[in-house]
């Protein structure tokens, strides 16, 4: 695990965007794992800004988002699908047929299998997501945020390191951390997430951490203790992970 500590959120976002854009430039058919949440917003802003000034072609790239809430339609403004449209997809020339986000309603599977219980349809959705990643040749480069409790994607403490895409129950802590995005209701209790094992299969990984609210988690990650109780610690087992953190997140 390589560590880069940069001055602030802007510097972290610039560095992450540079890695993203280099990957697309060097390998136009790159398969990217993409995060949502507050942390990567600056990275996406930077990518979009660079695309409007310098020509970057995303046409042959494939993207797989890390996670999505169960129960939200892709059109729901609180869905990660809407987040991606707003912050990246609407601004770059990615091919819509190569953008993948788990469907938290498993709509296509339920249409094909009338009467199937939602729970079963969601399991099939997760299996299909893993198959799509495999068909794309696996993930080349995956970006991650860091949860205060050490989660990566929606893999909460206790997630098996060999886990693959599946439905998970969100902790109270994670739901509280994301409550600001749900001013008119409760944060969903379940989500579909790539597993820790799915993430570890990515050839390269970049984890981003910013701000004083992440200090404890960053410190724990630095301690190099590897435990399923702190999912991000699985990244110590990966041979090509960069952690980019800003000074505010380092105690």
Catalytic annotation, residues:
67, 149, 151, 156
Residue 38 vs 74, nearer CB to ligand PGA: 38
Contact with ligand PGA (CB under 6 A): which of 13, 16, 17, 39? Answer: 39
Residue 148 vs 203, nearer CB to ligand PGA: 148
Q: Is residue 198 a contact point for ligand PGA (CB under 6 A)?
A: no
Residue 61 vs 207, nearer CB to ligand PGA: 207
Query: What is the rounded distance in angstroms from the CA atom of residue 159 to the CA atom of residue 233?
Result: 11
Rounded to a whole number of angstroms, the minimum distance from the CB of residue 38 to ligand PGA is 4
Rounded to a whole number of angstroms, the minimum distance from the CB of residue 60 to ligand PGA is 28
Residue 24 vs 145, nearer CB to ligand PGA: 145
Q: Find the binding residues for ligand PGA in span 50-109 (CB under 6 A).
A: none
Residue 37 vs 102, nearer CB to ligand PGA: 37
> By CB under 6 A, which span of 34-42, 51-59, 82-90, 155-163 interacts with ligand PGA?
34-42
Rounded to a whole number of angstroms, the minimum distance from the CB of residue 138 to ligand PGA is 22
- Which tokens go with 189? 């209790």
121 — phi, psi (to 5°)?
Answer: -60, -40
CB 243 within 8 A of CB 47: no
SS3 of the chain: CEEEEECCHHHHHHHHHHHHHHHHHHCCCCEEEECCCCCCHHHHHHHHHHHHHCCCCCCCCEEEECEEECCCCCCCCCCHHHHHHHHCHHHCCCCHHHEECCCCCCHHHHHHCCCCCHHHHHHHHHHHHHHHHHHCCCCCEEEECCCCCCCECCECCCCCCCCCCEEEECCHHHHHHCHHHCCCCCCCCEEEECCHHHHHCCCEEEEEECCHHHHHHHHHHHCCCCCCCCHHHHHHHCCCEEEEEEHHHCC
Q: Is residue 231 a contact point for ligand PGA (CB under 6 A)?
A: no
- Which tokens go with 122? 């969601």
Query: What is the rounded distance in angstroms from the CA atom of residue 70 to the CA atom of residue 101?
Result: 12
Residue 66 vs 109, nearer CB to ligand PGA: 66
Rounded to a whole number of angstroms, the minimum distance from the CB of residue 137 to ligand PGA is 25
Q: Is residue 38 a contact point for ligand PGA (CB under 6 A)?
A: yes
Q: Find the binding residues for ligand PGA in span 125-154 (CB under 6 A).
A: 145-147, 151
Contact with ligand PGA (CB under 6 A): which of 15, 31, 32, 37? Answer: 37
Rounded to a whole number of angstroms, the minimum distance from the CB of residue 2 to ligand PGA is 20
Rounded to a whole number of angstroms, the minimum distance from the CB of residue 57 to ligand PGA is 28
Tell me which residues touch ligand PGA (CB under 6 A). Answer: 37-39, 145-147, 151
């Amino acid at each position: 695990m390589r560590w880069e500590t940069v001055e602030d959120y802007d510097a972290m976002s610039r560095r992450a965007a540079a890695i993203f854009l280099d990957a697309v430039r060097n390998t136009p058919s790159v398969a990217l794992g993409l995060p949502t949440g507050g942390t990567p917003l600056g990275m996406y802003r930077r990518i979009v800004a660079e695309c409007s000034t310098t020509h970057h072609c995303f046409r042959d790239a494939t993207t797989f988002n890390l996670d999505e809430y169960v129960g939200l339609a892709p059109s729901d403004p609180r869905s990660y699908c809407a987040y991606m449209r707003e912050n990246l997809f609407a601004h770059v020339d990615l091919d819509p047929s190569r953008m993948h986000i788990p469907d938290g309603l498993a709509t296509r599977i339920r249409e094909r299998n009338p009467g199937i219980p939602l729970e079963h349809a969601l399991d099939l959705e997760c299996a299909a997501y893993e198959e799509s990643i495999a068909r794309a040749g696996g993930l080349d480069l995956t970006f991650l945020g860091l949860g205060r409790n050490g989660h990566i994607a929606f893999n909460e403490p206790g997630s098996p390191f060999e886990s693959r895409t599946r439905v998970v129950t969100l902790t109270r802590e994670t739901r509280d951390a994301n409550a600001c995005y749900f001013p008119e209701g409760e944060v969903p209790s379940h989500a579909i997430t790539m597993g820790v094992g799915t993430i570890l299969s990515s050839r390269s990984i970049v984890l981003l951490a910013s701000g004083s609210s992440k200090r404890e988690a960053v410190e724990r990650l630095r301690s190099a203790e590897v435990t399923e109780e702190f999912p991000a610690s699985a990244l110590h087992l990966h041979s090509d992970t960069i952690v980019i953190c800003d000074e505010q997140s380092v105690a």
